[in-house]
Amino acid sequence: MGIEYDGRGLLGWQRQKDGPSVQGQLEAALSFVANQRVELTCAGRTDAGVHATAQVAHFDTLAVRERHSWVLGVNSRLPDGIALRWAEPVDDDFHARFKAFGRRYRYVIANRPVRPALEAGRVAWWRRPLDAARMHDAAQTFVGEHDFSSLRAAGCQAKSPIREVHSIAVQRRGSYVILDIHANAFLHHMVRNIAGVLLAIGDGREAPGWAARILAARDRRVSGITAPAGGLYFVHVDYPPEFALPSAEGPVLEGIPGNGAI
C-alpha cells in the first residue's frame, strides 16, 4: 500500500496505547475491510508530527478484494488526515522495510519574520534570514557513508550508526528553504538533526566547517538542535524495479512555486 498522512495530531507511525497513530488507524480500517485482524509493516517509521506523501507498508491476509475495494473501503474508515493512495498485490518475498534500498525525505522551512498560520504544523518556521547556498555547501559534508552518531537521537535503537547518504540538496524557493535528502536508510531524528545543524550554519551562527566537526565527533552532545517535526515529509521509497510499484510525488505545499515530483 502507498499511504499519505498529515502528522499533526498523530503520535507518529507506530501503534500507541495512549493516542492515535498512523499504524493504529490503518490497521483498524484494514481489519474491518478484510474481516480479520491485519498487522502492518512499513518502510520507515515516522515520529509524531511528521508527514508522509509516499509511505509504503505491506500486510498478509487471506481476504480477497479488488484493488479499488481495498482503497475505497479503507479510506471510508480513515480520518481525513490519512489516506490510502494505492494498493497492489505483491509476491511473498516482498517486504516493505527490508526490500527498500533507499528512502527520501524533504524538510520544508518557511523563512520569514512572521510565523505561518495556514501552514502551522506543516512547515518549520525560522525567522532569521537563511543563506540556502551556504547550507547546501555545508550539507555536502554528510554525503557518503559515515558514522552518524552525532546526528541521531539519544534513544535511537539502531544497531549501527553507519548510514550512506546518496545526495543532499538545499535550495531556496521564494520565502521557503527546501532540504532534500536521499539515503539508504535513516537513524532516529537523523534528518531533523541534520536540519538543525544546517539552520545554525545558514543563519550565520556557525561556520560551514562546523558540520564536519560534528560528524567527526560522533557525539550527539556537540551537535545542534533537533529541528521541528512539522517541516519533515517522507516522500519516496526505492524498491527493485521487478516489484513495479506505483511512483510517488513529493509534497505539494501552497506557496512553493515549482514544487512537484521528487
- Residues serving a catalytic function are 47
Q: Which three cell numbers stand for residue 95?
A: 517486504
User: Residue 73: CB partners within 8 Å, gap ≥ 6?
Assistant: 29, 32, 33, 65
Q: Which three cell numbers stand for residue 55?
A: 509511505
CB of 151 within 8 A of CB of 226? Answer: no
CB of 235 within 8 A of CB of 262? Answer: yes
Residue ranges of E strands in the chain: 2-5, 41-42, 51-58, 82-86, 102-111, 124-126, 144-147, 162-173, 176-183, 232-238
Please state, in angstroms and rounded to a whole number, the distance separating the CA atoms of residues 127 and 130: 9
CB of 176 within 8 A of CB of 111? Answer: yes
Side chain identity at 45, as an amino acid letter?
Answer: R
User: Residue 23: CB partners within 8 Å, gap ≥ 6?
Assistant: 13, 14, 15, 40, 42
Question: Phi/psi of residue 143, each to 5°?
Answer: -75, 140
User: Residue 128: CB partners within 8 Å, gap ≥ 6?
Assistant: 203, 204
